[in-house]
Amino acid sequence: MIELKGITKKYGDRTVLNSISFRVEKGEVLGFLGPNGAGKTTTMRIITGYLSPTMGEVMVEGYDIKKEPVRVRSIIGYLPELAPAYPEMTVLGYLKFMAGIKGLSGRYSKDAIDRVIQRISLDKVKDRIIGNLSRGYRQRVGIAQALLSNPSILILDEPTVGLDPEQIIEIRNLIRELGSDHTIILSTHVLPEVTVTCNRVLVINDGKLLAGGDYNMLSDDIYRERTYRLVTTRLDDGVVRLIESIDGIKAVERHDDGFTITIDTGFKNPEVITDAVFKAGYSVAEFSSKRVSLEDVYIKLLSHDRGGIQ
């Protein structure tokens, strides 16, 4: 479990993080979103102990990072934004070097390296020079070094940046797989990635936390309504009138191929709609929730924060 309480970071009189508080529970995969300069990397560097906050407290698995930085670092595996490049080293040489930095030696180092090579499927490339590897493989090496101390938590700063679509899918699958036995915080600008890999998101802008929650919560918070698509075998205005008469329905629109129904997020059982339609003698060919994309939610959140047009 990771807990941040009132984390503030100032550089001179510039506040880059403004009293950030959040918790990440064991086993969660949290997506950390925000525009360039929002404070994602700064927050991650504070959680990993590479940077001290000006104010506030970070607890990792019950340990205070200020009091027990060495212990906390051994619990966390970190893939920095710009993974340190040692292009002249072989994969194995680099992993040995990193294991040494993490205080592993002898058999412990060898076992840890064997384990991460297995887990990240690096066997094929372990004797190759890092500088000659594809970006996707270099990123894998970065993730492998993060796993050397067998951490329960992984902090991945933009793990898929600069990768081609195939490599993105590969790394994404790897993250999903790692999510089964690690708590993960990952930052990214690729929003579809968040929808497939994360169970919760945090949005940060200008050093402030704007919103957090699972995807549905976020979109409910922002939109305060949901839309459904309904297709009945007869598309007539009788259906419109029928649905409009149900409590909690905000709007019903008829199109050539079906209806769009807008309901309040407080409306908990949309089956009421299909029940009413059935009872009136229509049959239902389709009834589905129209999901707003995470992009829409994200842009709307930022524009609210900047006081822009909603």
Ligand X SMILES: Nc1ncnc2c1ncn2[C@@H]1O[C@H](COP(=O)(O)OP(=O)(O)OP(=O)(O)O)[C@@H](O)[C@H]1O
Q: Does 258 bind ligand X (CB under 6 A)?
A: no
**310 with 304: CB under 8 angstroms?**
yes
Q: Does 6 bind ligand X (CB under 6 A)?
A: no
Q: Which of 31, 34, 159, 270 binds ligand X (CB under 6 A)?
A: 34
Q: Which of 40, 172, 200, 226 binds ligand X (CB under 6 A)?
A: 40
DSSP conformational letter for 291: P
CB nearer to ligand X: pick between 22 and 228: 22
Of 85, 119, 5, nearest in space to 53 by CA: 5
Q: How far is CA 153 from CA 102, 161, 287, 308, in A?
A: 15, 21, 40, 37
Of 296, 265, 204, nearest in space to 9 by CA: 204
Q: Which does 37 bind (CB under 5 to 8 A by kind): ligand X, Mg ion, none?
A: ligand X
**48 with 57: CB under 8 angstroms?**
no
CB nearer to ligand X: pick between 11 and 166: 11
In this structure, which amino acid lies at residue 94? Y
Angle at 63 between CA 39 and CA 147, to 5 degrees: 70
Q: Does 41 bind ligand X (CB under 6 A)?
A: yes
CB nearer to ligand X: pick between 42 and 232: 42
Q: Which of 2, 24, 29, 39 binds ligand X (CB under 6 A)?
A: 39
- Torsion sign (Cα): 126, 87, 109, 113: negative
Q: Does 269 bind ligand X (CB under 6 A)?
A: no
Of 127, 166, 124, 158, nearest in space to 142 by CA: 158
**How many positions of this chain bind Mg ion (CB under 5 A)?**
3
CB nearer to Mg ion: pick between 40 and 200: 40
**How many positions of this chain bind ligand X (CB under 6 A)?**
11
Taking CB under 5 A as the criterion, which residues in 29-58 touch Mg ion? 40-41
Q: How does 55-65 read in b/e, with b if 16+ C-beta sit within 10 Å?
A: ebebbbeeeeb
CB nearer to Mg ion: pick between 40 and 140: 40
Q: How far is the CB of 95 from ligand X (least distance, A)?
A: 26
Q: Which of 3, 5, 16, 272 binds ligand X (CB under 6 A)?
A: 16
Q: Does 183 bind Mg ion (CB under 5 A)?
A: no
Taking CB under 6 A as the criterion, which residues in 78-107 touch ligand X? 81
Q: What is the C-alpha to C-alpha distance for residues 106 and 213, in angstroms, rounded to an integer? A: 44
Residues that bind Mg ion (CB under 5 A): 40-41, 81
Residues that bind ligand X (CB under 6 A): 11, 16, 34, 36-42, 81
